[in-house]
Each structure stands twice: as C-alpha cells, then as structure tokens.
A and B are shown apart, each in its own frame.
Chain A
Amino acid sequence: AQSVTQPDIHITVSEGASLELRCNYSYGATPYLFWYVQSPGQGLQLLLKYFSGDTLVQGIKGFEAEFKRSQSSFNLRKPSVHWSDAAEYFCAVGARGGSYIPTFGRGTSLIVHP
C-alpha cells in the first residue's frame, strides 16, 4: 500500500517570499501524485496532478510541483506567496494498480505574514 508524508505541520512565510512544501511518498512504482488546498471551512481544491511525462507540473494559482523519483518526493513550490495562499495543503498519492483510492498526507498549514 502507498503512504505519504508531509514533514512540516506548519510553515510560516512572509508575503512575497518563495514557498516550498515538502511531500514524500512510499510506493513500489510510479504513483499518481496530487496537491490539494483547503481554505478554512471549505472542501479541498485540486491544485495540480502528476501522472507521467514531464516531471515539472504546473497548476492553478501559480503553483508548480516537481516529481523526483530518486527522492520519492513531490514538493510544491510558488515563487511569490500572497496573503490569500494561507490555507492547509495536502499531498496525496494514488496507486496505479489495485485499489487506486488516494492516500492523503496529514497536511501542512501555511501561515503568511504581511
């Protein structure tokens, strides 16, 4: 079965600074990988997804993520954070065989200082 780890529970950045949220996964083959964002009191919104091909994936709201097979990582990045990016971010990994239900990480809470 697959698993996913988001090592950082909280990340604090200043508005305008760059951002990188870490995600490490465990799976025997190349998984499907997703990043979701959740604003307070809301459901999750899909930011981007990786299936195959180009390892650098562009998403919505100016986010991108890079799949690194050698490091089993799929880190989320943004060059300049806006105050509205403050939210909870979830990485998810889906298997390519058997039960494909994605497994979600515990989330990283992003705090943005003005």
Chain B
Amino acid sequence: KAGVTQTPRYLIKTRGQQVTLSCSPISGHRSVSWYQQTPGQGLQFLFEYFSETQRNKGNFPGRFSGRQFSNSRSEMNVSTLELGDSALYLCASSLGGFQGSDGYTFGSGTRLTVV
C-alpha cells in the first residue's frame, strides 16, 4: 500500500511569508500528526487531527495551524515565517485507535528553509 506522502519535499521561503505543507496519510488511517524536527530541539509535537478535528496540540505559537479534510489528508500552515521555523516537518499517520498504541507511519518530510 502507498505510504505517507508529503509535499513539497523542499521549500525555501522568506521571513514574513506564509507556507502550507500537505500530507496524505495511508489509506484507512484517520489520524494525522505533525512534528517539527530540528537539530537543537529534536522532534517536537505540533498537533494531531482525527476525523477532521484537532484532537491534541503541542506548545507552538498560533502562527502554526492545521486542518484535516474528509479524506484524511491534512495541511499545516505557518504564517509570518521566522528564521527559527527552518526545520524538517514530519507528518505521521496512524489508525488513531486506542490511545495511539498502533504507532506511527511517517512521511519523508518537508524541509523548510526560511531566509
């Protein structure tokens, strides 16, 4: 079966701009989680969507937002980009079953560089 697809793979943006990243989960997976990965902070949880509803949220400013569509595809948006937003953004899909016990399938990520 197809894996988790993230687009685009690479992105270069200027400070102050906004960006939208896309994630298509594995067919049948209803939960999509987003993580930010940086060398300094490691993997940090952004938010999780399940059946089009935000179910969990990490400690990121309101500039970071997301949504999920009825086909489980998800987008995340970052507005007013800052240099510190440069990171690998990872999408992870799961069945969304009992308390996240099924583990994640990750996409290859979107490498965002803010200049």
Contacts and interface: CB of A to CB of B under 8 A. Distances in A.
Interface of A: 32, 34, 36, 41-46, 49, 51, 90, 94-97, 99-102, 104-107
A102 to B, nearest CB: 7
B33 interface: yes
Interface of B: 4, 6, 33, 42-43, 45, 48, 56, 58, 90, 92, 99-101, 103-109
B4, B92, B103, B106: most-surrounded residue (chain A CB, <10 A): B103
B100 A43 contact: no
Contacts of B45: 101
B100 A100 contact: yes
B33 A101 contact: yes
B21 to A, nearest CB: 13
B45, B101, B108: most-surrounded residue (chain A CB, <10 A): B101
Given A34-B103, A51-B101, A94-B99, A43 B108 contact: yes
Contact of B100 (A42, A102, A106): A102
A25 B52 CA distance: 32
Contacts of A44: 90, 92, 104, 106
A88 to B, nearest CB: 10
Given A43-B107, A43-B108, A46-B103, 9 more contacts: A42-B109, A43-B92, A44-B104, A94-B101, A97-B99, A101-B58, A102-B100, A105-B42, A107-B42
Contacts of A49: 101, 103
B109 A104 contact: no
B104 to A, nearest CB: 7
A102 B109 CA distance: 18
29 contacts: A32-B100, A32-B101, A34-B103, A36-B106, A43-B6, A43-B90, A43-B92, A43-B106, A43-B107, A43-B108, A43-B109, A44-B104, A44-B106, A49-B101, A90-B43, A94-B100, A94-B101, A95-B99, A100-B100, A101-B33, A101-B45, A101-B48, A101-B56, A101-B58, A102-B100, A104-B42, A104-B43, A105-B42, A107-B42
